[in-house]
């Protein structure tokens, strides 16, 4: 190998022996995502410590078929954020889209879906529920697919839950309360499908 090419760089990669071993083990196993493996290879090639290869960026780009900006970002991230930040994806602080139905609104939707359908209808449809939750000011807007997803994860659509002695119906983690009618038979909160 030719002499190490070290140019004046703002972000110089210097790995400890332990970090090098971890990166080499990661590459050897090959079970990680491709992006993580590429970053590990870049760090090993760019390592300017005594045990490292200290390749130039242009040489790394040719060998690993990567871009100059990728090499720069990996170097910068190692220096500014640390070794773990390079290998692990940054978690979002907030979800990309805020949930429309939080716990309380979800419970109201379930109670509505288990209630008696509008007059002239045999059962609640997703479109009817969509209109009703907006009408009752449970949420400002919601699509029928959002309502379907919310109910799918909490309410078995094909079955109804009989209440125990007319007091409460347990639907996953939410309680939907009903009025007790008589102790003779349990009340159904949903229409039979």
Q: Domain segments of the chain: what residues?
A: 17-87, 103-177
What pLDDT is attached to residue 185? 47
Q: Which residues of 134-161 are buried (b: 16+ CB within 10 A; e: fewer)?
A: eeeebbeebeeebbeebbeebbeeeebb
- pTM exceeds 0.75: no
Low pLDDT (below 70) residues in the chain: 1-8, 154-193
By the 8 A CB rule, do 164 and 158 touch? Answer: no
C-alpha separations of 18 from 30, 75, 110 in Å: 18, 18, 53
Q: How far apart are CA 174 and CA 168, in angstroms?
A: 10
What pLDDT is attached to residue 139? 92
What pLDDT is attached to residue 8? 57
């Amino acid at each position: 190998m030719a002499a190490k090419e070290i140019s004046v760089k703002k972000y110089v990669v210097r790995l400890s022996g332990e970090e090098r071993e971890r990166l080499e083990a990661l590459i050897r196993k090959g079970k990680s995502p491709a992006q993580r493996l590429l970053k590990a290879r870049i760090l090993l090639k760019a390592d300017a410590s005594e045990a490292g290869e200290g390749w130039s960026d242009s040489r790394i780009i040719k060998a690993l078929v990567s871009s100059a900006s990728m090499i720069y970002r990996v170097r910068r991230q190692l220096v500014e954020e640390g070794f773990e930040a390079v290998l692990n994806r940054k978690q979002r602080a907030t979800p990309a889209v805020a949930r429309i139905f939080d716990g309380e609104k979800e419970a109201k939707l379930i109670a509505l879906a288990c209630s008696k359908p509008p007059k002239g209808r045999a059962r609640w449809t997703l479109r009817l529920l969509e209109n009703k939750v907006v009408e009752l000011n449970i949420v400002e807007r919601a699509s029928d697919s959002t309502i379907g997803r919310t109910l799918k994860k909490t309410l078995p659509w094909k079955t109804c839950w009989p209440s125990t002695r007319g007091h409460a119906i347990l639907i996953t983690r939410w309680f939907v309360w009903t009025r007790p009618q008589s102790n003779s038979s349990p009340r159904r909160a949903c229409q039979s499908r």
